[in-house]
Structure 1
Amino acid sequence: MKRVFLLIATNIAVLLVASLIMSILGVNPSTMSGLLVFAALIGFGGSFVSLKISKWMAKKTMGCEVITNPRDSDEKWLVETVARQAEQAGIKMPEVAVYHSPELNAFATGPSKNNSLVAVSTGLLHGMSRDEVEAVLAHEVSHVANGDMVTLTLIQGVVNTFVIFAARAIARAIDTFVSSNDEEGEGMGVFAYMAVVFVLDMILGILASTIVHYFSRIREYRADAGAAKLVGANKMIAALERLRQGPESNAMPAQMSALGINGKRSAAEFFMSHPPLEKRIEALRNQ
């Protein structure tokens, strides 16, 4: 419930701020240009707010324990390994954290290359060899060095803007058509219009998500290649093989599952945020 509350509160805050900005600017969302501005404010606003608070949100939703003073040899090794890799990648040292979960997973997030968080699950830390964990950490550091969080935020912002604008533009066209064929010229009515917008938001959102997933899969290949440069392709292949032998990732909430190294699987690849592990392994072997 805490995760749902945080997500809802964030979206409500974005809506309120966007409405306030539009009121100050005198933008009327009833015009097409006003609608486009409204869509961009909501679409990009929500994405950038999520990016800005991504570290805080990750810590809260996943229960991350940031390592400030290592409590044991494993934590000391984690911090030292990330520090070494960050220096190799030319980025500022990320915060390093551990979260309690039996699944083999890890993720990186943060608003910029020099303000990031790398976190690993206790299941991954204790269920993999150090060479494999080192490769996973290199994968996450590569995400940070590639600026993947910002890139995906921009893509998500464009997609959100398109969905918000298109859904309302189509709903208006339907309303105009109904009104022109209605003797009283009343159109669909407020509730019917809102219902149409809601359905279109859902349908267009699902279709648009395939675009985001496509770019997300590309960034996974790039992060695998980056990890291979940092620690060697054999270590990265061994880590992916270990993930392939384990169960599907289910512990992460939906809004964070794309961040993990071990993504959720699907029968249709274009609905997956991560390429199949077999394809990732093959790509490393062929590079």
Structure 2
Amino acid sequence: MTNARDIKQQLSDDDFNFVCDYVYQKSGIVLSDSKREMVYRRFTRIIRDRHLTSFSDYCELLKSDPEGEERYFINAVTTNLTSFFREEHHFDYLAQHELPHLIKKGSKRIRIWCSASSTGEEPYSIAMTVKESFKTLLNTWDVKILATDIDSNVLNTGKQGIYEYKGIEDMPEHLVKKYFSRGMGVNSTKVKTTSDIQNLITFKELNLMNDWPMKGPFDVIFCRNVLIYFDKKTQLELFERFHKLLAPNGLLILGHSENLGAFQQYFKSVGRTIFRKLD
């Protein structure tokens, strides 16, 4: 059996460069030399799952069946770090400013897109914020949240809405009581989201680098902590596409370490990494 040290020695520059190029072509994600150790760790799991003996063997498999392996490989190498109400100030802005403004406009229709939804904590946090803001008004409004991700595995977790209880321990008690049901017996450490918020969300697999089937317009687009994996050219292309899909004065919400760069001229900053489309 090949051990970890043997595998690491087999991660040649050619194999690493091929993988980096494959990931960039398929997903737009840039893997620099600083990510080599991460690639090694995840690549090692892939080799074991595929019962291969070397990185080169798997590179040959990618070359011979690039489409057949694409979903599995992208799922294996992408990062999915998330939590409920992560970067809470974004949800505070929705609750205190944007949703009241949209309610006052009285259009009766709101569309929100969570473009890198991972395992679902972000869209469910949005859904809870919507429910708390609209209260009984929601019965007469057409409000939908689209949650997309490139990783089909994490999307399945989001669809199921089942999480470890420790993931909601710091959430306000009234939200826990309203929007989660706790398991029993062997499932006592888990919780499941209620249909109240599940019914607001549609989960769909989507590679941001491919065609987008939805037409919009969206009142709010979340694209948080994913742009950092793209190069500047790809970021600008995505900003342009987001801009086209946003409704007039719509919001684009980025992650804490992200910015619009040269595309800032088309938006107005209204909060920490919260940007309003200029018409």
TM-score, L = length of structure 1 = 0.31
Max Rg structure: 1
Q: Which has the higher helix share?
A: 1
Bigger proportion of residues as strand: 2
